[in-house]
A and B are shown apart, each in its own frame.
Chain A
Amino acid sequence: MQNVTKIKFALDWLTVAYYLILVTMGWFSIYGASYDLENSTSIFDFSQRAGKQFIWILTALGIGGMLLLVEHRMYNLFAYVVYGASILLLIATIFLAPDIKGSRSWLVLGPVSFQPAELAKVATSLTLAKIMSAYNYKLRSIKDMMPLLLVIFIPFALIVLQKETGSALVFAAFFLVFYREGMSGLILLLGMLAVVLFVVVIRFGEVAIFGGQGSLGMILAMGIILILELIYISFFRKHVKEALWLLGGITIICLLCWGLNLAGLSLNYNYVAICLTLASCLYCLAIQVLLRHKAYWLIALFAAVFVMFSFSSGYLFNKVLQPHQQMRIKVLLNMEDDPAGVGYNVNQSKIAIGSGGLYGKGFLNGTQTKLKYVPEQDTDFIFCTVGEEHGFVGSFLVLLIYWLFLMRILTLAERQREAFSRVYAYCVASIFFFHLLVNIGMVVGLIPVIGIPLPFFSYGGSSLWGFTILLFILLRLDAARMETMR
């Protein structure tokens, strides 16, 4: 009993309040999304989705309460056990799960179905926290990162095997945690650069320039790599002379090619650009060897790796991604208009949100979201209902609360005394942030369609439970921060 009082006192009620607000708003949105004007049912009608969500909410609260009662050291103690169990569950799922819309990720137990991927997020967070909070652990080099990468990769691969690429991608969010714990920020920047190059190569890959002799995408990509090299050499290394030499060389070769082209010689400019960039690698290596300037070989490596990456992007896109995934990206990049397929969802979703205007059409008055044309209107596309019925004001408010919620978790994270709790808190923040980033980005048409739920809003017991468990373990750890000080 004393324990309960202590937790009541130490619990971060502000976070709980944000949680309750979001869950309640989600519940009403689900009611709105599945509301049928003719056969209107009560929000408590348990045969309808809103009614079911109410049960999920109550059970989630129960689970959250129980998690608060667990001795906080248990989470640290049993992290590996939970991780192992969830990996076994993921493996079992591949074989046991029925095929639902092409994915095998749901375990069905009578009336309840559960996605073990949700549990894997919690387990992975606990495990990462445990590894990184070990005495003397410092995240400095690639070598230190290896065990962490392995811990993320196993569930990631298993979830990909379940054909739930969206849920698997969530595991990329943990890189934000690594960054906070010491991983070089350069890795995040390079990751972003990879995305930019990929998009450039794909988006402009089929745009021909120089009279069909080269593709805009590839030449732009090479240009970006060269410019980054130049910026690095001249501004960060302050070797202006070397940078000018490089720039001069590039200009001369470009002029030469132009001249050859005028002389009637036909060149494949893609290869010219690639060779030019690779030549810059050799130039950097030469500087390293001859002038003994430090770290130029890293520049060469950087350029070489990204040349190869750009070169293989097209292959990656056409061969590794599945046709529907390609289509989603093409639609996002405006390369393909597919109003009957993928583009249709996004278009409908944008129209629904757009038609909400400033104040929205009012609760239960949205027509778009009820047209049943957008599938997943009460799961992945739930934000449409908010946008349509409550307008800009409503969606702004929801985003604001999410922002406050995430900032609060960061605050909780930084006030922890134990590394375990801090790392775990960052894991939680990263996961919520990733879901928000992808889900809202998808609904407003800024990110390709990736089917992952909006935390606390999307219909479904499995995800609500998953997010609740994730959050309440954090609340429990946070409530114990005073004890550990003593």
Chain B
Amino acid sequence: MINDTLQNRRYIIAVVISAVVLIYIVRLFTIQILDDKYKEGAESNAFLYKTQYPPRGLIYDRNEKLLVYNKPAYDIMLIMREIENLDTLSLCKDLNITREYFAQRLIEIKDRKKNKGYSSYTPQVFMTQLSAEDIATMQQFIYKYRGFYIQNRTLREYSYPAAAHLLGSIGEVSPRMIAQDSYYKQGDYAGRDGIEYTYEKQLRGEKGVEILLRDAKGRIKGRYEDGKKDLAPKIGSNLKLTIDIQLQMLGEKLMDGKMGSIVAIEPATGEILSLVSNPTFDPSILVGRQRSENYRKLVNDPMKPLLNRATQAQYSPGSTFKPLQALICLQMGGITEKSYFPCGGKGSLPISCTHFHGSPVSLLNAIEQSCNPFFWGAFRSSLEKNGYGNENVNFREAYTAWSEGLKRFGLGKRFPDSDLYEQGRGYVPDTSFYDRSYLKKTAWRSLTIRSLAIGQGEILVTPLQLANVAASIANEGYYITPHINRSDSMRQRIHSVGVDKKHFQIVKEGMERVSTFGTGRYAHIPGIALCGKTGTVENNHGKDHSLYIGFAPKDDPKIAVAVVVENAGFGATWAAPIASLLIEQYLTGKIERTWMLEHMLNTVLNPHAKRY
């Protein structure tokens, strides 16, 4: 036999094992038979965790006007296991629902495919987001129906029926959001778009929990340890926006009956003063029980009212591109302030001119009169400054410098450091794009891409980007990322546009002349030095789009604006006056040109562009 002394250790091991088993048996004896604490546990044995929803943060405009607040709402909850002797007929009468609806809801709740967390022991949402009026009568009766109870929640309420796209809305969390953030539980609500989405974490606060004790039959026996372990909900933080709600409402009224958008920015801070997109809707229609029905209506409308045209729609900039073109060409050295190009009017080649003026034209006059041949000449001489070179290498280099110049102004991409969630990219073609379309590196020249000279062709911008271009010109060389949360940190996001300050003076002057002698003189505001540029953009959806960018006053600009009115015709007829009215209101606090205001307000250009 091997090692006899060690053999005795088997007894020690056996004793250890036996001791542990004995200790556990004693422990079981204690908790199962001796200890009264757990005996009571048999009577009041389970906790009911009642979620306490915090009110969401409030939203104010830049002048401290309350935009979004909360009103109480109620959910009717249901615990299947606790239903006893239910008088369905009477319940349906009290809840004001049909028996069919009742039966269908029960089937939906029990369907584990749709309702993954279903358990007959845990609270399920039976009816959701009822108003205080709805609940008032139900409150008296609900006690009769065991298993049903009322849970408090809050719903959004809006002071003004405006700014729907910007504010966004709140909806039930999707399974994906639950998977990504353990904070959310099935049936919770969260910001789904707009700032409600971007600032969800700030606005939502923190859920609390009330711990209640239940007995084996599910009756509530009171609060656990008198509520000492309850967790109070934390109210969401408030948010102050850069929006001026009065300006926003004026913008929405001006755009009524038209398709399009307005973006107004304060150039010195990058703060968005208004962000209008039409067709639009009253934000309150996406709240509560009517949400899903209204949402379906909005989604199915061919005019796409849910699209935030101000930040997501993409257009060719047309002539509003010309001040930017001038700046880039000046910076590249393709032209100087003293450059002249001939203009042959309608007969000009390769691009005709749509306006009547003398020839040759100076830069100042070209901006004023929106002369196409001038900008073709400027574009061409910038790109061909060093000739084409072997394999077009010089030309390609110049083109890249040109397109990079546009990107520095924020074109061709989203503003990555902005707090706007819904943004279109726009498009600035680079050399590889043309290499692909023309199949060869040497197959395309300035002539083939001449549309770019006047802002047509492949280039696409969003109204937000256009407004930012206007703001950059107003600032003479830099912009602050457009944003809607009024905070210091957002104001620090400064970007230089890479054009020397000295080039801006002449472009600004040209833009001022637009409003005094040029294409935008109809939109002139008496007593205010308005710099602007109109645009009339060809497109394949019908009449030309009417575009305008501008800022005022010329020295120390306070507001920069971009306006797009889809399929409306000339830039000067619609976009320019709308922009000028908005600027007048913002700078002077009133509108003296009432005839123009009346005209703009009362014109319906597109009968389908209705407001929900």
Contact = CB atoms under 8 A, between A and B. Distances in A.
A402 B23 CA distance: 14
Contacts of A410: 10, 13-14, 17
Contact of A407 (B3, B17, B39): B17
Contact of A180 (B9, B25, B119): B9
A180 B2 CA distance: 12
A137 B74 CA distance: 75
B17 A403 contact: yes
B37 A354 contact: yes
Interface stretch (B43-51, B432-440, B478-486, B585-593): B43-51
Given A38-B120, A403-B18, A354 B25 contact: no
Contact of B21 (A351, A403, A414): A403
Interface string B16-49: 1110110111011101110101110110011101
Interface stretch (A19-27, A230-238, A320-328, A391-399): A391-399
A436 B24 CA distance: 10
A397 to B, nearest CB: 10
B24 A350 contact: no
B38 A355 contact: yes
Contact of B35 (A181, A354, A368, A370): A354
B2 A419 contact: yes
A353 B21 contact: no
A340 B231 contact: yes
A358 B25 contact: no
Q: What are the 10 closest A-B residue pairs judged by CB atoms, nearest first? A: A354-B38, A355-B42, A351-B41, A392-B32, A354-B31, A403-B21, A372-B119, A444-B27, A371-B121, A367-B216
Interface size class of A (residues with CB under 8 A): 35 or more
Contacts of B160: none
B31 A181 contact: no
Contacts of A340: 49, 209, 211, 229, 231
A36 B42 CA distance: 20
A370 B46 CA distance: 11
Given A340-B229, A371-B121, A406-B17, A353 B28 contact: yes
B126 interface: no
Instruction: Indicate the member of A348, A350, A387, A419 with the most B CB atoms within 10 Å.
Output: A350
A433 B42 contact: no
Given A340-B211, A402-B21, A392 B46 contact: no
Interface string A280-297: 000000000000000000
Interface in B71-106: 80-81
Interface of B: 2-3, 6-7, 9-10, 12-14, 16-18, 20-21, 23-25, 27-29, 31-33, 35, 37-39, 41-42, 45-47, 49, 80-81, 119-122, 209, 211, 216, 224, 229, 231
A354 B41 contact: yes
B42 A357 contact: yes
5 contacts: A176-B13, A403-B17, A407-B18, A440-B24, A444-B31
A271 interface: no
A182 interface: yes
Nearest to A392: B32
Nearest to A337: B229
Nearest to B38: A354
A414 B7 contact: yes
Contacts of B3: 182
Contacts of A358: 32-33
A373 interface: yes
Nearest to A419: B2
A437 B216 CA distance: 31
Contacts of B17: 403, 406-407, 410, 429, 433
B124 to A, nearest CB: 13
A429 B27 CA distance: 23
Instruction: Indicate the member of A351, A352, A396, A429 with the most B CB atoms within 10 Å.
Output: A351
Contact of A357 (B9, B14, B39): B39
B120 A354 contact: no
B10 to A, nearest CB: 5
Given A353-B31, A373-B47, 13 more contacts: A38-B80, A180-B10, A339-B47, A339-B211, A354-B31, A354-B38, A372-B121, A372-B122, A373-B46, A396-B25, A407-B18, A414-B10, A446-B27
Contacts of A413: 10
A248 interface: no
Contacts of A391: 32
Nearest to B24: A440
A444 to B, nearest CB: 5
Contacts of A433: 17, 20
Contacts of A357: 32-33, 39, 42
B28 A396 contact: yes
A315 interface: no
Instruction: Indicate the member of A387, A403, A410 with the most B CB atoms within 10 Å.
Output: A403
Contact of B32 (A395, A399, A407): A395
A120 B36 CA distance: 44
A356 interface: yes
B385 to A, nearest CB: 56
Contacts of A368: 45-46
B221 to A, nearest CB: 13
Given A179-B13, A339-B224, A410-B10, A353 B32 contact: yes
Contacts of A445: 31
Interface in A7-41: 36-38
A398 to B, nearest CB: 10
A351 B13 contact: no
Given A367-B45, A373-B47, A395 B21 contact: no
A426 B10 CA distance: 10
Interface in A431-486: 433, 436-437, 440-441, 444-446
A350 B35 CA distance: 11
B34 to A, nearest CB: 10
A185 interface: yes
Nearest to B80: A38
Contacts of A406: 17
Interface in A333-360: 337, 339-340, 344, 348, 350-358
Contacts of B38: 350-351, 353-355
A387 B211 contact: no
A396 B18 CA distance: 13
Contact of A392 (B2, B29, B209): B29
